[in-house]
Structure 1
Amino acid sequence: MKTRTVERTRLVPHTIDGRTEMVLDRYTVDVPRPPRDWDRIVLTGVTAAAASIGVASIVWSTASIGDLLARSVPEPAAYAAAAVFDLVWLSCMALEWLARYDQARAALPRRAGYVALAVAMAAVGAHGWISGEIAIGFIGAAVSGLAKAMWTVVLRHHAKPLDPLTQQWVDKQRAEAGGRLAMVAVRRELTRAEQAVTAEHAALSGASPDADPERPESRADRPDDEETPAVTGPMTIADAVRTALSSGITDPDAVLRYVRTVADANAKEASVERYIRSLRTPA
């Protein structure tokens, strides 16, 4: 049996001058070497071969279609456009791979990939026909077809089909996660809309955009902004207290502020409270 050496660590007591501490000790052990996973090695090799075939297909198609298009447009533009043909169906294969656990979603990129492949093969065949090399045109078109077939087989081997019940469970989980993700964008959009409404209202009313008319601050936090009755002329302290109470101002501090505003700036708190008690006491 083959083995391999593995380094491990452990805590061991170590004493110096009568003081013991737990220290880290490194040691090696021989453990059985697992057998080679030939299935994984073969699959990795096949995937690498498919990747190489895909690159070769892109190079061949680009050279062939680029030479065809260069008859009418400058070469840089012709070869840049030629690279699109095989890149499209390869991109569709990548999307098909991403949707390997959802056959319904994978159907569209699969069909689109076949359409793009047919267009690429027709372009390569047209280049051979125009160049007078029909056989080379057919063989060159087969390069893209073989690359597509190779990638299809590899992806089918990697894909793990799900039974109907498991597929429904996966779809529900994906829909729930997608709903939460969608709500992030929706909330962001609603926030922008609310900010726009607030800014528009501020522009029309001349108020500060930070002041939300729908959310006024508590009057207890803004005593200076409390509504006060209109001043009709000079008042005595008693008249001012009577006017404040009749206007619905019941807080003694608010009444005192009103009296000092319209009647006597030096009005005493005790005098105002006495007038309040006398006016509240029924005769």
Structure 2
Amino acid sequence: MKTRQIERHRLVPHTVDGETELVLDTETIDVPAPPRDWDQVVRTAVTIGAVVLVTVSLTWTTASVGALLAMSTVAVVGYAAGIAFDATWIMCMGAEWLLRNAPERAALPRKAGHWALAVSMAAVLAHGHYIAHSWGVGAIGALVSALAKSGWMIAMRVHARPLDPRTQQWVAKRRAAVDGQLALIPVRRELQRAQHLIEAEQHALAAHGPADPDRSTDRPDESDDEPDADVLPLHSGAVTTKDAVRIAWDSGIRDDDAVIRYVAKATGRAPSPETVARYLRALRIGA
């Protein structure tokens, strides 16, 4: 049986001059070594091989398509654009891997990856035909991308953990609940920002003050006087001083003090006697 050595640490009592303390003791012991996991070794080798194939394909396609595009534009721009041909289907395969537990969502990047691969292979095929005047050379060059994508698909299958239909539904329901909570985060933030804007606007208007000069006086405690019986009661603050004077006048109240008491009750604050007198003079002149 194969063994391997490990260090074990433990606290042991140690006495010096009659004083005992716990100190750390280290010892090396032999333990059975687990057998090599050849499945994991092969899985790692497949993954490394797929990464190497994708890297070779990306380099080859960039060189081929970049050389083709460099004939009509600046070389640096042409080669930079050539990266997009293989990078597109590589990105789609990455998205497909991330969505492996959501088949309905993974269908779109899978289909887009196939189309991107076809475009990339067509571009390499055109470059090979243009350089060597042979469709065969172009086809062989185009197969590099196909082989790389096939290798990556195999690596994905090696790492995949298929779910049965019931478990797949369970995962979909749990993901939908969590995704709903995540989707509501920006919505709540937007609503909070809007509410804060409304509150800030209201505070700004309140600090600026009302446009009616009759409303500039501070509001004292409401008067305990009851309104005249002939005048309909109004909600405090529902009318302006001018409106309250008009209502009192139309109700037959002519005494200045009585009008002031009614206006105070109707508006919820004590009016300026000069303002009430001015409004009454205007009504008397009109009468």
Pairwise same-fold verdict (TM > 0.5)? yes
Aligned twin of 1:234: none
Code of the aligned partner of 1:151 = W
Structural mapping, 1:72-221, within 5 Å: 72-131=72-131, 132-207=133-208
1:101 and 1:159 in contact (8 A); partners too: no
Aligned twin of 2:237: none
Code of the aligned partner of 1:228 = D
Gap runs ≥5 in structure 2:
210-217, 224-260, 266-287
1:61 maps to 2:61: yes
Aligned twin of 1:272: none
- Helix, strand or coil at the partner of 1:31: strand
Q: Return the alpha-carbon distance in structure 2 between the equivalents of residues 76 and 42 of structure 1.
A: 40
Deviation string for 1:42-96 (max 9, x for gaps)? 1101110110110100111011111111111111110000000000000111111
Q: Return the alpha-carbon distance in structure 2 between the equivalents of residues 42 and 123 of structure 1.
A: 34
Gap runs ≥5 in structure 1:
209-224, 231-242, 248-283
Question: Post-superposition shift, 1:229?
Answer: 4.5
Q: Return the alpha-carbon distance in structure 1 between the equivalents of residues 59 and 142 of structure 2.
A: 13
The CA RMSD measured in Å over matched residues stands at 2.1
Code of the aligned partner of 1:24 = L
Identity %: 53
Q: Which moved more, 1:127-136 or 1:31-40?
A: 127-136
Q: Return the alpha-carbon distance in structure 2 between the equivalents of residues 26 and 227 of structure 1.
A: 84
Q: Return the alpha-carbon distance in structure 2 between the equivalents of residues 9 and 174 of structure 1.
A: 44
Q: Return the alpha-carbon distance in structure 2 between the equivalents of residues 9 and 33 of structure 1.
A: 19
Q: Count how many residue pairs are aligned between Structure 1 and Structure 2.
A: 217
- TM-score normalized with structure 1 length: 0.72
Code of the aligned partner of 2:119 = V
